[in-house]
Amino acid sequence: MFNQENSNPTVTNCRFSSNSAGYGAGMRNNGSSPTVTNCTFSENSARGEGGGMDNRYDSYPAVTNCTFSGNTANTNGGGMFNFTNSNPVVSECTFSDNEAGWGGGMCNDNSNPKVRNCSFSNNNSIGGDGGGGMMNFHSTATLVNCVFLNNSSANVGGGMFNVYGSLTMINCTFSGNSAVIDGGGMYNDWDSYPILTNCILWADEPNEIVNNHNSNPTVTYSDVQGGWAGLGNIDANPLFVDANHPDPNLWNLRLSYGSTCIDAGDTTAVPTGIFSDMNGDLRRLDDPASPDTGISIFGVTVDMGAYEFQLCRIPGDVNCDGVVDFKDVAILCASWLTGTEPEL
């Protein structure tokens, strides 16, 4: 589908699959701003850029609840490519198993998208400098409540690669990403100054954040494995519900009871209008059993990461992971008869 200047169609419940083109094999927007909802872009292949979707020259599409899976681009943006002041609003979308030279999941070139409640998993950068999940070049993207899981790069920046990039990330989680050379979680190059608040970067290989050529991120109220200087930062196992499965794509990155990431974020950093977390659960929620080590508003302190810890709402869910299974039974058995007699 090709939308030329000032063409703003509404596209709902559609599938774009197994198409090929020079640019934007699934959809190409050139100076247009379509509304795309509940659509699937899969197995599309671009000889140039934008395997799933290509937005360029002042395009401002609204993309909601869409899936970008198995798309490829020989150069940039396997799932989506945004070029020259193209600033899409991308919400509640999934980018998985996409591949490109730069930015397997998404590549932003002189563009400033807003990405909210999106997951980037198992995307790959194969031939360029890197950015398995996302690459930002001269771009100031804003990401809120996003997950980067098990993305990879043949070079640098398994989760994300920034070049002259000054993006803002709030309540995002990086885990299980890898790079052959450096920056399994994030690689910042050539005067990149990203801002990370309330984020978790844990279990990325070979390391979490690497900076080069005068790059200097600002990281606060975040959990970074190996530690990172900054106000409110910690270096502690986030206690994900499940990060031990042999296949990282099956990891559950919600926080378990007792995680030091609970109530450790900066509530003032959560943008106005953001009321839920990655899962659609209430974001501004305080856990009375956890110490408030972050910044509160009216007694409520948000968590670090894409998922807000939720109080147990399911009978028998001892570890509050949303599922009643053998883990709950194991906790119960380990605690059986370990209490004390009440005083009468």
Do residues 204 and 235 both lie within one domain?
Answer: yes
pLDDT at 340: 47
- pLDDT for position 332: 67
CA dist., res. 187 & res. 211, Å (int): 6
Specify the DSSP element, H or E, that contains 334. helix 326-334
Residues 30, 145: Cα–Cα separation, whole Å: 28
What is the phi-psi region of residue 213: left when phi exceeds 0, alpha when psi lies from -120 to 50, beta otherwise? Answer: left
What pLDDT, on the 0 to 100 scale, is given for residue 197? 99
Same domain? For 218 and 292 the reply is: yes
Q: Do 246 and 340 sit in the same domain of this protein?
A: no
162 and 48 share one domain: yes
Same structural domain for residues 342 and 267? Answer: no
Write out the residue range of the structural domain in which residue 215 sits: 2-315
Beta strands 119-121 and 147-149, pairing class: parallel
Low-confidence ranges of the chain (pLDDT < 70): 312-315, 317-323, 327-328, 331-332, 334-344
Asked if 298 and 320 sit in the same domain, the reply is no
Looking at residue 343, its pLDDT comes to 41
Query: In this predicted structure, what is the pLDDT of residue 341?
Result: 44
Q: Quick one: 221 and 329 in the same domain?
A: no
Q: Examine residue 206 and say whether the peptide bond preceding it is cis (omega within 30 degrees of 0).
A: yes
Q: What is the pLDDT of residues 279-334, one digit of tens each?
A: 999 999 999 999 999 999 999 999 999 999 987 656 676 666 666 777 667 766 76
Q: Mention every residue, 6+ apart, whose C-beta is less than 8 A from residue 244.
A: none
Contact present, 156 and 178 (Cβ < 8 Å): no
Do 35 and 99 fall within a single domain?
A: yes
What's the sign of the alpha-carbon dihedral 332, 246, 119, 153?
positive
The overall pTM is greater than 0.95: no
Question: Is residue 311 packed enough to be buried (19+ CB in 10 Å), middle (13-18) or exposed (0-12)?
Answer: exposed
As a whole number of angstroms, the distance between CA 258 and CA 45 comes to 45
**Residues 248 and 140 occupy one common structural domain:** yes
pLDDT computed for residue 134 by the predictor: 98
Is residue 198 a contact partner of residue 225, using CB atoms and an 8 Å limit?
A: no
The pLDDT of residue 127:
79
- How many distinct structural domains can be found in the chain? 2
Question: How many Å apart are CA 299 and CA 81, to the nearest integer?
Answer: 41
pLDDT value at position 334? 65
**Same-domain status, 210 and 342:** no
Alpha carbon 249 to its chain centroid, in Å, reads 13
Phi, psi of 327 (to 5 degrees): -65, -40
The alpha carbon dihedral of 130, 77, 168, 175 has a sign of negative
Considering the domain architecture, whether residues 137 and 30 belong to the same structural domain is answered as: yes
Asked whether the beta carbons of 90 and 117 are under 8 A apart, the reply is: no
Is 333 in the same domain as 195?
A: no
Q: Distance (Å, rounded) from C-alpha 146 to C-alpha 149?
A: 10
Q: Mind spelling out the 3-state secondary structure of 21-51?
A: EEECCCEEEECCCCEEECCEEECCEEEEECC
